[in-house]
Structure 1
Amino acid sequence: MTDSAMMPFSAGMGGMGMSPFDESDDTPAPPPCSTDHLNGLQKAAIIVRVLVAEGVDMPLSGLPAQMQTDLTRTMGEMRLVDRNTMNAVVSEYIDMLEQVGLSFPDGLDGALSLLDGRLDAVATQQLRMLARGEFGRDSWGDLETAPDEELMSLLEAESTVVGAVLLSKLSIDKAAGLLARMPADLAQALAMSVAETDDIDPDTVARIGAALAQQVSDKPVRAFAKPSTRRVGEILNSTSSDLRDRLLAGLESVDRGFATGVRKSIFTFQDIPARIDTRDVPTLMREIPPDDMMFIIAANAEEDQATIEFLLTNMSRRIADTLREDAAALPPPGAKQKNETMVRIMASLRMMVDAGTLPLKPIDEEEES
């Protein structure tokens, strides 16, 4: 806790009326009270509680976030403190303040503010990078692992020279993937700008990397990692087709944009032919238990026929024939059994997609609209 946060308390001691820890001159001094049973956070919590009671405005927001969290949690855990202990903690703190002869700014940022205008530009830049934790930090490594969507936003927002530096520092596969996703005119402009990076000095490249990495990492903390459209879509993936269609129709009537985003996140058994390449069907079929596939074939649902034929046609002919023959010997399953089997199949498929072992073809925007 900074000195400035506590000085009003000690400075105003003489002018206050009877405070919770004042003793009149004719009151016998209480016996000395030990504070050894309290840790530093508990003592700080007592001081803060007394200052709040006295109406002192404390800039606690200037403390590190973890310290604010620890202090608040400690205050939430404490209940009653007797008067002697409170007086002892306050006296301890006042004695500490009276021994302070000089205070320095809190951290490197504070020191830079104090010396603003007194350092040259190079030293200031280096110190600011150090204050942000960028010396010793692998900024380009952070950018290499950043999601493509965030890097695309950077490439579209920054100058083409900065974008060319970014592409040049990324791995070849990462850079190629980004070029393939962007409009042709932007890709051409960035490719041309690579020629302008030959004479850029290493310090400039390092500063660009630090600035871009800061933009990527400087995101607000969110309770949910996935966007709302994807969360709703994944829930609907596990519902029956009738319920899914009803809910989508309702969403469409209220918010078409949100409904469109949800629809993009939905991936059902019927979507497999449009979203999975024929070359990846054998990979998928290795993860689907044969019994589940036979169950779906035996159900003989009209809406599943296109997907069943797509899968059987693009896998081993011998295995496909065996599945057909074994399914023909099974009695048609009920709707509940079929739905449970479908959920298991799609759960396996979604795990493969999330793990990156099964790529999906993008949704055709024109067809969807």
Structure 2
Amino acid sequence: MPDWSPASDQRLTRAGMNTQTGLSPRQKAAIIVRLLLDDDAGVSLDEFDSDRQTLLVEEMANMELIDRRTRDDVITEFCDSLEAVGVTFPGDLDGTLAILADRLSDDTTDRLRRLVLMSGRGDPWPRITELPQEDIQTLADNEAVELVAVMLSQLPVEKAAATYSALERERARMVAQSMSLTRNIAPQALRRIGLVLAQAADALPRPAMETPASDRMGDMLNFASSELRDDILEMLDNEDAEFAVDVRRAIFIFAHIPKRVEPRDIPRIIREVDQATMLKALSQKSEEEAAAAEFILSNLSSRMADGLREEIADLGTISSEEAEAAANEVVATIRRLQMDGELKLILPKDDE
């Protein structure tokens, strides 16, 4: 889509849109858009800001008849300019960051966005809509209700609904009363409010480590020996009961499989684990681990389950250390599948 902004005149002339037709680059751009509209090309102007849309409308309003030769010259120049382009850049930070995507760290991306906002350039709202839900909820709980109403009007519907539903009853009523003020808000005021909310979001405290301490402790205890795990949990129960509860919820071990894994996911897990390892894991004798093993076998086809039972019986004596190490490998596989989005663990209940 051609650019009809004031700054485009020189750029388009350099790119090959010469002035042989006696038309300015913006007039030529208006002709191209008009032809696309006639051709039912599904042209959308939503991506352009209000100033550019206004320039287009004004240019088209001042034009009347264009002869065929001029039309053909404009089309030829436009096609030549497209063919002459070797590489294009977005021309703004948001587009540039979209190209770089995973190449930049989250910290670098966030810092660049903040620098642009502080310089008075850029739209703050894309950054606000991309904030984590907990940050948006914090803003909704603490900022002036008028600002919150504007924020909710700019968020995606699902995010706005989740935020609003989590507000306290009285605050939710106050925000609802303020929503009417968002109907006729001017673009300049909308941008100023966005800047205020972006600055408030920047001021929110950030943990030095993204992974909660309880989750990290739980991950480590997942692969500790059962004796060490029980000892640590008992110590935490005595020293910090609240932390101990969070750690217990983060722990996922072989014995938890019946409560945390969907039966339909068992065949997939079996395929991912080395058979010798799985046989050792299924051979455990303690009550909870044996129940988990039976849960796995009962969610396989009868033929496969019977075959595995026969192979387990042929294993002979397996030390508890070998069986526990194999069970940990099964747990590691389940965690990997979870991280890859190939299965979802059932959340533990409060009393578990």
Query: What is the TM-score of this pair, normalised by structure 2?
Result: 0.54
Sort the Cα spacing of 1:297 and 1:156 in 2 relative to 1 into closer, same or farther, 3 A: same
1:248 is displaced (CA, Å) by 0.9
Match of 2:257 among 252, 265, 272: 272
Paired position in structure 2 for 1:327: 312
Match of 1:146 among 131, 134, 153: 131
Paired position in structure 1 for 2:242: 257
Paired position in structure 2 for 1:349: 334
- The answer to whether the 8 A contact 2:140-2:163 is kept is no
Match of 1:312 among 297, 312, 319: 297
Count of aligned pairs between the two proteins = 238
Sort the Cα spacing of 1:132 and 1:250 in 2 relative to 1 into closer, same or farther, 3 A: same
Distance 1:317 1:235 in 2: 36
Match of 1:241 among 217, 226, 246: 226
AA of the residue aligned to 1:350: R
AA of the residue aligned to 1:148: Q
AA of the residue aligned to 2:316: P
SS of 1:331 mapped into structure 2: coil
- The answer to whether the 8 A contact 2:222-2:252 is kept is yes
1:239 is displaced (CA, Å) by 0.5
1:201 is displaced (CA, Å) by 3.6
AA of the residue aligned to 1:261: D
1:302 is displaced (CA, Å) by 1.9
Match of 2:140 among 155, 165, 168: 155
- The answer to whether the 8 A contact 2:260-2:346 is kept is yes
Paired position in structure 2 for 1:296: 281
Sort the Cα spacing of 1:191 and 1:218 in 2 relative to 1 into closer, same or farther, 3 A: closer
State the Cα RMSD in Å.
Answer: 3.8
1:253 is displaced (CA, Å) by 0.7
SS of 1:273 mapped into structure 2: helix
Distance 1:271 1:131 in 2: 48
1:261 is displaced (CA, Å) by 2.1
- The answer to whether the 8 A contact 1:144-1:170 is kept is yes
AA of the residue aligned to 1:136: G
SS of 1:299 mapped into structure 2: coil
Sort the Cα spacing of 1:220 and 1:154 in 2 relative to 1 into closer, same or farther, 3 A: closer
SS of 2:309 mapped into structure 1: helix
Which deviations, in whole Å up to 9, do the C-alpha atoms of 1:151-171 show, x marking residues without a partner?
Answer: 333333345554454444344
Paired position in structure 1 for 2:195: 210
SS of 1:346 mapped into structure 2: helix
- The answer to whether the 8 A contact 1:134-1:210 is kept is no
- The answer to whether the 8 A contact 1:160-1:193 is kept is no
1:145 is displaced (CA, Å) by 4.1
Q: Spell out the pairing of 1:12-91 with structure 2 (5 A cutoff).
A: none
- The answer to whether the 8 A contact 1:288-1:345 is kept is yes
Paired position in structure 1 for 2:209: 224
- The answer to whether the 8 A contact 2:281-2:330 is kept is no
Distance 1:271 1:296 in 2: 13
Q: What residue ranges of structure 1 are gaps of 5+ in the alignment?
A: 1-127
Match of 1:135 among 102, 114, 121: 121
Which deviations, in whole Å up to 9, do the C-alpha atoms of 1:4-55 show, x marking residues without a partner?
Answer: xxxxxxxxxxxxxxxxxxxxxxxxxxxxxxxxxxxxxxxxxxxxxxxxxxxx
1:228 is displaced (CA, Å) by 2.0
- The answer to whether the 8 A contact 1:269-1:304 is kept is yes
Sort the Cα spacing of 1:217 and 1:340 in 2 relative to 1 into closer, same or farther, 3 A: farther
Distance 1:351 1:321 in 2: 27
SS of 2:283 mapped into structure 1: helix
Sort the Cα spacing of 1:155 and 1:291 in 2 relative to 1 into closer, same or farther, 3 A: farther
- The answer to whether the 8 A contact 1:299-1:332 is kept is no
Sort the Cα spacing of 1:223 and 1:162 in 2 relative to 1 into closer, same or farther, 3 A: closer
Which deviations, in whole Å up to 9, do the C-alpha atoms of 1:116-149 show, x marking residues without a partner?
Answer: xxxxxxxxxxxx9966256325x44434443333
- The answer to whether the 8 A contact 2:219-2:250 is kept is yes
AA of the residue aligned to 2:348: I
Who wins on radius of gyration, i.e. which is larger?
A: 1
Identical aligned pairs, as a percentage?
A: 32
